[in-house]
Structure 1
């Protein structure tokens, strides 16, 4: 019974905070409140996808046209993180390297000869631009975020 009441209360608190009737800058009992700023942060996050208190994203989403320019101009390596059966079923970008998502961390730490033997391509250099791709963009974005925040990937930024 007590658990049911706590459960109801826990669902009520976020709704009260996000729909707070307290106007911004007001105070309760002589103390200022942070409830409106939290509510505004949540609304900003829902509309823009970026949290007010978060830092800017340091990775870049690449459009098709940008990818074509990158592949034509600079040294860019495209790593497809889909499973091999997905490549057979949905196709692939010519020149991309297929390294399934679960193998990327260990693959980028292999010796160049081992990488060439296993993936039939050259190991990306530290100066190369690396573009991760997948079918819907979820896995590649997850890997990009992990690459930018992980010690294993610092040399591949």
Structure 2
């Protein structure tokens, strides 16, 4: 079909976002969760307007009481129908995060598989 966009499918059969798609999504109210470790964020910076929930905390975080979530991550907890994007450095952990979230019943989750490695090819990361 002319004009149809072809996505690269990740393991779950869900398309991975491109840099441009992520930029466009960020103009909406998507929650962007970076699942790298805190020291990685401190050392290498982060994609602007993303929050950090390390992969090891993610399953617990997504099952928290919403008030507790907001207290800990300074962000409104996503509902299972809210759009959520996961990223990491280069796609391995975000793929796991996607699988975790889907297994918990989140229906509008996607990943930016290029991660920080891809982002920095387009623009600098945000440093603290």
Task: From the CA coordinates, give the structure whose radius of gyration is larger.
Answer: 1
Q: Deviations over 1:36-69 (max 9, x none)?
A: xxxxxxxxxxxxxx9xxxxx84322011100011
Tell me the SS of whatever aligns to 1:131: strand
Q: Which residue of 1 aligns with 2:114?
A: none
Aligned length: 98
Shift of 1:88: 0.7
**Comparing both structures, which one devotes a greater share of its residues to helix?**
1
Q: What is the alpha-carbon distance in structure 2 between the residues aligned to residue 136 and residue 93 of structure 1?
A: 13
Structure 1 portions without partners, runs of 5+: 1-49, 51-55
Tell me the SS of whatever aligns to 2:32: strand
Contact 1:77–1:124 at 8 Å: present in 2 too? yes
Q: Per chain length, whose mean CA-contact separation is higher, i.e. which structure has more relative contact order (CA < 8 Å, sep 6+)? A: 2
Structure 2 portions without partners, runs of 5+: 1-8, 108-128
Which consecutive aligned stretches of 4+ in structure 1 deviate over 3 angstroms post-superposition? Answer: none
Q: Say whether 1:64 aligns with 2:49.
A: no
TM-score in terms of structure 1 length = 0.57
Q: Which residue of 2 aligns with 1:95?
A: 49
Q: Which residue of 1 aligns with 2:69?
A: 115
TM-score in terms of structure 2 length = 0.69
Q: What is the alpha-carbon distance in structure 2 between the residues aligned to residue 83 and residue 139 of structure 1?
A: 10
